[in-house]
Structure 1
Amino acid sequence: MPQIQFEIKRFNELSAAELYNLLQLRAEVFIVEQNCVYQDIDGKDYKALHLIGTYEGKIVAYSRLFKAGDYFDNASIGRVVIAANYRYKKWGHSLVQAGIAGIEKHFNTTRITISAQLYLQKFYESNGFVAVSDTYLEDDIPHIEMLKS
């Protein structure tokens, strides 16, 4: 049975089709599904490493990885997303673990800060993150800053 495959690429290594498909996935979830009108294309994609999860040739999972100082003082994982039709496969944990491993490999650190949607706090806690802030609004969605060290 095929499994999800993860690959990390720099911005300039993404093909036009990969970039289109990952931006489409981000828009489907973060803008349409979550009914949140905000500027997803924020200029930070150039700095990020792009963690892409494919299944049967289709991008179904994605996140951005940042070195310390590019987003937070610590390394960071953001734009964590699984396509709605594939969430039943429970690949979210695999995606986060691949992100943690990618940061360790590429940025030589285990200290990672994230801005997590509040409803996902327990999910991130199960992946080793702890809450380090009160709840705050980001794009009108409750978030919490979390740290893995």
Structure 2
Amino acid sequence: MDAAQDTRWTPHVTVATVVVRDGQLLLVEEAIDGRAVLNQPAGHLEPGESLAGAALRETLEETGWTVRLTAFIGTYQWTAPDGTPFLRFAYVAEPVAHDPARPLDTGILRALWLDPAQLRADPTRLRSPLVWEVVSDFLAGQRHPLSIVKEIA
């Protein structure tokens, strides 16, 4: 294969956390291309970081909530309209503590609690189809033990 044909598939590896309290889901409203969209607390895996560690970090940075992971929902592959490939690893977590004074990540407008029907009511507000897909699997009871994700040192 010559250099011109050597196109490597390099997906963006992301994590997302479904945090549940009293039947409501913790979401972030973020500004993307001038629009306010909804997403789970989510973000990119950083070098040297475990997937679970990334999920905990992103949730804290985007919402001010410290959480405890309780289960793994699944892995999702999606290609954005611009051709960017994503692999999302989704976790379930329970809230532990909130720091309302903690500044939220750049681009995050606010963290909010919504029930699933509110989230489903306007799919045009979702950042990507991954948001509802993950919630839908969670609501259907899809849970795996955290040990299903192996970190090999």
Q: Scaled by the length of structure 2, what TM-score is found?
A: 0.28
Structure having the larger proportion of residues in strand: 2
Tell me which of the two structures has the higher relative contact order, counting C-alpha pairs closer than 8 angstroms and 6 or more residues apart. 2
Q: Kindly name which structure, 1 or 2, has the bigger radius of gyration based on alpha carbons.
A: 2
